Structure 1
Amino acid sequence: MINRRHIRVKVMQSVYAMLQSHNDDIIKEEKFVKHSVLKMFDLYVLNIQLLVAVQKLAAKKMALSKNKILATASDLNPNIKFINNKVIRTISESISLEGYVELNKLHNWEENDEYVKIIFEELLQSSLYEKYLADEEHSFKRDKNFVVDFFKEIIAPNEKLAEYYEDNMISWVDDIPFVNTWVVKTLSKQKAAGLFVLGSLYKDKDDEDFVSQLFRKTVLKQAEYELAIAEKTPNWESDRIAEIDMILIKMAITEFLNFPSIPTKVTINEYIEISKDYSTSKSSFFINGVLDKISKEFIANKKIVKIGRGLI
C-alpha cells in the first residue's frame, strides 16, 4: 500500500505541475493527483500479472517442443517445476486479480508479449532458474522464495521493462521503485493455504483523505505561507529559493496547521528526506532551518495544536 511519504511526493509533483502550467483549476488538478495515485495500483497489478504471463509462455514453449518432429528426450520429458510453481499458479487463479483487470480494462500482457519474452529469456539464462529446476525440494516455501528472487533479480531491474512502463505513464518513473518493493512484500506474505488477494492502495480512509487535503490546503494558502517563509528568510529573495524547496516548505506548513495527528518533528523530517531526492544538495539544510524557525514560532503563538502526548 502507498505510504505517507509517497503521497507527499505525489502532491509535491502535482503542486509543481500546477504552478508550471499556471493553471488555477484546483478541482481539475486535485483529480489529477488522485488519478496519479490510483494509476500506481495499475503498475502494481501489471507486475504481478507479468509473473503469470511468463509462466504461460514457458508452458506454451514446452508444448511446442514436445510436438517437434525431431524432439529430443529433454523436449519430451521437460522439467515442469516452473510451470507448476504453486505461488504463480495461485496468482493465476486469483478472482481478486481477474476482477481488477476486467473492471479497470487493464491491458493484457499477450498484447505486449515482447516484454514477456524478454523477461523469460533472461530467466532461462539465469543461475537462479538453473538452481531452482535442479533443486529437488518441492514445497510452497521453495516456490515462494524463487518467485520473490525472480521478481527482485530479473523483473524489477529490467531496463527495457522500466522504459515500457515510463512510456505508458510518465508518473510511473518515480513510482517504479516503490511499487517494486510493494510487490515483493505482497509475494512474501502469500500463504500456502490462502487465496491470492491484491493489497490495498491505502492503509485507511485517513490516508486517502490526506491526498486531497494536503494538496488543496497547500494550494489555497500559498500566498499566506509565502509571507511566513519570507519573514524567516530575510536574506533571500523568493526567486532565489528553489521552487521545489518552496513547495515542500508550504506543504510542511500545511501539515503543521491542519493535521493534528502528525507530529511536527515527523513532518520536518519527512520533507527533509524528500528534498534529498528531489531538490538541491543544500536544500535539506535550508528546509530544516526554515521549518525549525516557523514551527517554533507557531508553537509559541499556539497556531500549532497537536492531539496526543509527544506530538509537538
Structure 2
Amino acid sequence: MISRRNIRVKVMQTLYTLNTVDGEIKNMDPVKLLQKQLDSSRQLFIYLLYTLTEVARYAETDSLKRASKNLPSAQDLNVNTKLSGNEYLWKILESASFQKAVESEKPHLVEDSKTQVKNIYNQLVETPEYKEYISTQSREKKSEKDIFVFIFTNMMLPNEDYISHVEEHFTNWDDDAEMMEQLMLNYLQKPGSYNLQEMVGEEKWLFAKNLLATSREKREYALELIKPKLKNWDAERIAVLDMILMEMGVCELLYFETIPTKVTINEYIDLAKAYSTPQSGQFINGILDNIHKDLMSQNKIHKVNFKNK
C-alpha cells in the first residue's frame, strides 16, 4: 500500500531524527525507529479512514435523532440516508482488515472524534455536491466513489478545526499529510482490498531497511562525493535535510541496481521540493546530476536491466 516514495520519506525522517535529536531516541535501534515511524503513519491513516466512514454513517444517526424529536417536522421525518448505504462505505466496514484495525487502534476513543464527525457531516449536507448526490436514487459506481473522495478532499482536509484536532492527537500529521492524501485516494480505488495490518509489504520493507542501512553505512563515502560539488557552499551550513537527501540519493545511485538513475534523481528532487526549502529541488538536482555524470564516466554505476524486473 505504501509506495517507494513513501518509504523514502520515512527513511529520510528517520535519518533526520537520528541526526538532530539527542537522548533515548538518538540511541534507538535505527530499524526500530523506522518501524515506529511507519506504525505512526498507519495509525494516522486508520483514524482518517475511520472519520471518513463515520461521516458517511452519520446520515443514519442524523435521521434517527431528528425523527425522535418530540415534535418532528416533515423535514425531520424525511432525512435522506442514501450516504449511509453507500457501496464504498460498506466495502470498507465489512472488510475484516478494517474491523481488525478499528479493534486494535480504537480510533473511536480519540477525544472529540464524535464532535468532529458531526461537524463535518453538518457542513457536508449543505454543499451542492452532496445535494446532487442524494437527488438521484440510482447508485452508480462513479458517484458512490466520488462522494467519498469529495468528503475526504473537500470536507476533511481543508477543515481547519478537523486538521487542528488531528494535529493534536497525531504529531506526525505535518510530516505525513501529503502521504495520507495519496494513500487515501489509492485506497478508495479499491476500498477494503488493502491489508491495514501490513501497509508495507515484504519487498518494500526490505527496500526500506536496505536504504536506511546503506545511507548510514556509506555516509562518509557519499559525503566524499558530495563535498567537492558544493563549490562555494559550506557543507556545515547546508540544511540538514538537504544533506540527508543527497546522501540517500548517492547511495541509491550506487547500491540499488534495479532502480533507474533517472528515477532516483527525480525522486529526490521532488522530496526536496516537498519537504525542504523552495530552492532545495534545484540545488539537489544540480549536485546529484553532477555526481551521476562523474560516476558514469568512471564506470561506477552498474544497473541491471530494470525493464525485465
TM-score by length of 1: 0.86
CA distance 1:176–1:39, change in 2 (3 Å): same
Amino acid at match of 1:59: E
- Segment of structure 1 superposing worse, 22-31 or 69-78: 22-31
Q: 1:52 maps to which residue?
A: 53
| Conserved 8 A contact 2:226-2:287 | yes
Divergent runs of 4+, >4 A? 22-27, 199-204
Distance 1:297 1:126 in 2: 56
User: Does 1:70 find its partner at 2:47?
Assistant: no
| Conserved 8 A contact 2:58-2:84 | no
Q: 1:142 maps to which residue?
A: 143
Distance 1:110 1:282 in 2: 39
Q: How does 1:232-271 map to 2 (within 5 A)?
A: 232-271=229-268
- Name the SS for the 1:128 alignment partner: helix
| Conserved 8 A contact 1:44-1:180 | no
Superposition deviation, residue 251 in structure 1: 0.6
Give 5+ residue unaligned stretches, structure 1: 191-195
User: Does 1:12 find its partner at 2:12?
Assistant: yes
| Conserved 8 A contact 1:50-1:109 | no
Q: 1:193 maps to which residue?
A: none
| Conserved 8 A contact 1:186-1:199 | no
Amino acid at match of 1:106: K
Superposition deviation, residue 209 in structure 1: 1.3
Identity within the alignment, %: 32
Superposition deviation, residue 259 in structure 1: 0.6
Offset from partner CA, 1:202-243 (integer Å, 9 cap, x none): 574332112122122212222232222223334333223332
CA distance 1:310–1:90, change in 2 (3 Å): closer
Q: Indicate the RMSD between aligned Cα atoms, in angstroms.
A: 2.7
Amino acid at match of 2:294: E
Aligned residues: 305
Distance 2:110 2:199 in 1: 29
Give 5+ residue unaligned stretches, structure 2: none
- Segment of structure 1 superposing worse, 166-175 or 76-85: 76-85
| Conserved 8 A contact 2:242-2:284 | yes
Q: 1:183 maps to which residue?
A: 184
| Conserved 8 A contact 1:15-1:215 | yes
| Conserved 8 A contact 1:148-1:188 | no
2:209 pairs with 204, 207, 212, which one?
212
Distance 1:292 1:132 in 2: 49
Amino acid at match of 1:159: E
